[in-house]
Amino acid sequence: PNANYHGTDSFTYRATDGSLTSNTATVTITVNPVNDAPVGVGNQYAVATNETLTVAVGSGVLANDTHVDGDQLQASLVSGVSHGTLALNADGSFVYTPAADFQGADTFVYRAFDGQAYSAQTTVTIIVNNPAVVQNNAYSVEWNNVLAVDAANGLLANDTDPDSDALTAALVTGPSHGTLALEADGSFSYTPNDGFHGTDTFTYAADDGLPNPSVGTVTITVTKINHAPVGLNDLYTVAVNETLTVDVANGILANDTDSDGDNLVAHLFSYASHGALSFNTNGSFVYTPNEDFQGTDTFVYKVYDGETYSGETTVTITVEAADEALAEEEDWLS
């Protein structure tokens, strides 16, 4: 029979002698029930020192016990608590009062009964304790730097225990964007991942030596320190009465740098004095010298990374006779 099945089952057959076959016959099998013992599962509860723990049926000792036959279960006490008083009801509900000022773990043992069989002995643990009062913490560090926090300013510095128990810090979940070294006294060091800036968190337990310690959250803000871009002066040449057109690839930003890798734009601060300038923030520009002007003209710009400007950067344009400009171009090409 299938596991835990009881009742009737049947099959049919025919007999044959090799030439003729009989009519159909039915075989009925009765599977008699055999009681399966219930299975008890241990439980753990918590209550504050000098307080009474009242547990209803829905959360009682039988709530997680099982019985494959589906019989209604009852709780039968085997041995009582050692550090308080216990009233256990057959439906699994109970009331527990710890002894005055007791803190620690207390236990009692019961068996689940289905009317015919008992489960194995099952232990219930009750933690009597006033857990630590934990305060969340917040710190900050500049990116690509290490945050080192001593015990005096550490995680446990603002945590308290109502029972004056000594507390130790234990990591629960680590940070997502860096590495952490946490000590039992609450001191720690945190190193953000290279280039990361933003918020990172981890959680810790303030452990007073008893189960179910209080948990706190630590938030670390990793701040980005912006470095100003660096603009380098530029030189261009154009022939008299000709127009100088400079694209992005050869523009004024092509040789400028930013150590943070930010996107750069150019902002004009002073126009050319001897010609017309059409200036683009991407570093390209068009310059047309005044008619017959020959000499040097300049304009000034600054590089901007979205937060900070570079110093003033000068672009010098030499306007010279056509043959001189051509010769310089040929020298450059050679």
- Domain spans of the chain, in order of start: 43-128, 137-223, 234-333
Block residue for tokens 């680590």: 174
State how far the Cα of 53 lies from the Cα of 97, in Å rounded to an integer: 6
Coil, strand, or helix at residue 328? helix
Query: pLDDT (tens digit, 9 = 90+) per residue, 87-119?
Result: 999 999 999 999 999 988 999 999 999 999 999
Output 308-314 pairs: Cβ under 8 A, ≥24 positions apart: 308/226, 308/227, 308/228, 308/229, 309/228, 309/229, 309/267, 310/228, 310/229, 310/230, 310/231, 310/256, 311/231, 312/231, 312/269, 313/231, 313/232, 313/233, 313/234, 313/252, 313/256, 314/233, 314/234
- What global pTM score does this model have? 0.57
pLDDT given for residue 327 in this prediction: 57
d(CA 151, CA 155): 7
247-261 pLDDT, tens digit each: 999 999 999 999 888
Provide the percentage of residues in the chain whose pLDDT is more than 90.
78
pLDDT digits (tens, 9 = 90+) for 126-139: 999 988 999 999 99
Fold of 43-128: Immunoglobulin-like (2.60.40)
Q: Same CATH fold, 137-223 and 43-128?
A: yes
CATH of 137-223, one of 2.60.40.10, 3.40.50.150, 3.90.79.10, 3.30.1490.390: 2.60.40.10
Of the CATH numbers 2.60.40.10, 2.60.120.10, 3.40.228.10, 3.50.50.60, which one belongs to the domain with range 234-333?
2.60.40.10
Q: Would you state the pLDDT for residue 210?
A: 84
